[in-house]
Structure 1
Amino acid sequence: MLVEFGPKQKIATVRITLSDQAIKPMRLQAQLLQWRQDLHGAPVTKPSEELIVTPRIAELKPGQQQVLRLALRGSLPAETERAYRLVLEDIAQPSSMDVGGGAAINFRMAYDLPVMVAPRGTIVSALRWRDCPADAAPRASKGVCVRIANAGNRRVKVQSVTVSGDGWQQALNLKEADAVLAGAEREWVVPATAMGPVRGVEVRTATGQVLRADPAGG
C-alpha cells in the first residue's frame, strides 16, 4: 500500500481494518520516519516532524476500523518529492510461539507503509551514471558495476538497466521494479561477458518509459 500526497494536498488518510477473524485486539502505535536509501536500496530512516499522524495510538477490536490522518507541516510540498515511512506497530501484549523444550518466542506485528509527498510544479526525470569506484570491484567480478543517481524531482521505478560499450550491450532485468528515490544513488551489477569501458546507460521504468542516463559531470 502506498500513501501519496498530491502537489496541493495537505491531508491524507489511511484506513485500517482488523479482520473479524482476528483472535485478539490490536493496539497500534504510529510513527513517521524520513526515508532515504543506501547504494543497494536498503532504507535509511530517522524520526521526522515534517508530518504528523493522528491518532498516534489506536485500539482495534476484531471487526473494527480505524482512520489515521496524516498532515503536512510548514511549507511542504517542496521542489523535490519527499519520502517517508509510516510504521504501525502492535504494542499490545506480544504473541508467543512455543518452539519446544520449554522455550518460546515472543513477536509483535508491525506494518511499514511508504508515504510520498509530490513535488510542486513540473515532474522532471533525469538520471546520471558513473562507474563504481575501484573498491566495488569484488562485487562486479561477474559483470559491469555502475552507479545511477536520480537527479530528477520524483522517484523512478527501475525495471531494467542496460549498459553498452564499443560494439557490445548487456541488460539486467529485475524481477520486480525497484524504486530509486529523488536524490538517491543506486548501484547495480549488470552481468556482462564483454570487457571494455561503459559508454552508455539506459533505464527502462515499470511503466515502459526508457530513460537515458547522462554521464556524471557531463
Structure 2
Amino acid sequence: MRSKRGYVRIRLPIWGFLLFLGAVLALGDPAMAGQLKLSTVRIDLSDRQPSAVLTLTNTGPSRSLVHLRLMAWSQVSGADRLEPTDAVLVNPPIADILPGAQQVVRIGYAGALQTPNERTFRLFIEEVPLQDSTGAQAVETILKISLPVFLPPQSPPTKVLAAAPPERGIPTVFMLNRGTRHARFTEYQLIGRGGVAGSLHKTSGYVLASTWMGYPLDDKDLAVPGPEKLRLTTEDGPVEIPLDPAVRQEMR
C-alpha cells in the first residue's frame, strides 16, 4: 500500500478550476473537475475507523491515468509545510480509469496512537497526461487538487481562535489556534470602532491546532478606525474574535 509519487492534475481552464475549487471548499459538495469526479472533499480517520474510501469517477470520453500520494501537513511560522509520511497510506497509488468507470481508493491509518493534538495530512490527486494516437503528447493544463485528511486528538477536540490587530504598515491579520483541532473559515472581515467594517475577504483558510497563520488585508482594512475584532464565517457558523495585541507574544 505504500504510496509512490502522485499529486493531482485535471483538465480545466484555470478560471474553471478556480470556480470549482472555491465551490468545493466553501460548500463541501462532491467534487467534479475535468474528467474526474470525487466522492468527497475531506477524509476523517480515527483509531476506531482507521480507513476510508474515496471513489474517483471518470466522466470524460477518454481513459484517465491518476497518481495519488499522501503527505503530512503542518503549519510552521505562518506557512504550510508538507512532508513525506508513512502514517497514512493510499491504495492504489496509481489508477487507470476507463471512460465511465470508477476507481475505489482506500486511505488507511497505519501510524501510532492518536496524539494530544489533531494530526493533519493532505491527499494529492494528479491526472497524468496521455499521448494521442500519433504518439504526440497533447497540450493541456495540468493542475493539482488536494483533500485534507484529519485524525482527531486523544481527548475531545477543541478549537480556540485568537487574533492580533494588524501592525502599522503590515497588511496582515494573524490568527492563532490555541485548540487541539483545526479551524476552517471561508470569510474574514476586520471590524473597527462604531462597527466600521473593512473588506470582506473570501478564502479557504485553515489554522491548524496550536499554530498561527497570517491572512492578507487591503487599503480599506488599513483605514478601519481602531480595529477591535475579526468577524469569521467558519465551518461551525459565524464567530467574532476580539483583537488582542498579546497574541503576538504567543506567536513567537
| Per-residue deviation, 1:92 | 5.4
Structure 1 runs, 4 residues or longer, greater than 6 Å off: none
Amino acid at match of 1:26: S
Work out whether residues 174 and 212 of structure 2, in 8 Å CA contact, stay in contact via their aligned partners in 1: no
1:89-100 equivalences under 5 Å are: 89-91=126-128, 93=130
> CA offsets, 1:9-33, max 9 Å, x none?
21111111212x422x222221111
The residue aligned with 2:61 is 22
Work out whether residues 15 and 68 of structure 1, in 8 Å CA contact, stay in contact via their aligned partners in 2: yes
The residue aligned with 2:189 is 161
Q: Greater CA deviation, 64-73 or 207-216?
A: 207-216
Work out whether residues 127 and 151 of structure 1, in 8 Å CA contact, stay in contact via their aligned partners in 2: yes
What is the TM-score when the length of structure 1 is the normalising length? 0.72
Amino acid at match of 2:42: L
Work out whether residues 160 and 177 of structure 2, in 8 Å CA contact, stay in contact via their aligned partners in 1: yes
1:134-145 equivalences under 5 Å are: 137=169, 140=171, 145=172
Q: Does 2:222 match 1:185?
A: no
Aligned mate of 1:128, from 149, 162, 176: 162
| Per-residue deviation, 1:3 | 1.8
Structure with the higher strand share, 1 or 2: 1
| Per-residue deviation, 1:65 | 1.5
133 and 67 in structure 1: CA distance in 2 versus 1, 3 angstrom threshold? same
187 and 91 in structure 1: CA distance in 2 versus 1, 3 angstrom threshold? closer
RMSD: 3.4
68 and 128 in structure 1: CA distance in 2 versus 1, 3 angstrom threshold? same
Amino acid at match of 2:61: A
Structure with the higher helix share, 1 or 2: 2
Amino acid at match of 1:53: V
Identify unmatched segments of 5+ residues in structure 2. Answer: 1-40, 133-137
What is the TM-score when the length of structure 2 is the normalising length? 0.63
The residue aligned with 1:79 is 116
For 2:212 and 2:116, the matched residues in 1 are separated by: 15
For 1:9 and 1:39, the matched residues in 2 are separated by: 32
Aligned mate of 1:119, from 122, 142, 153: 153
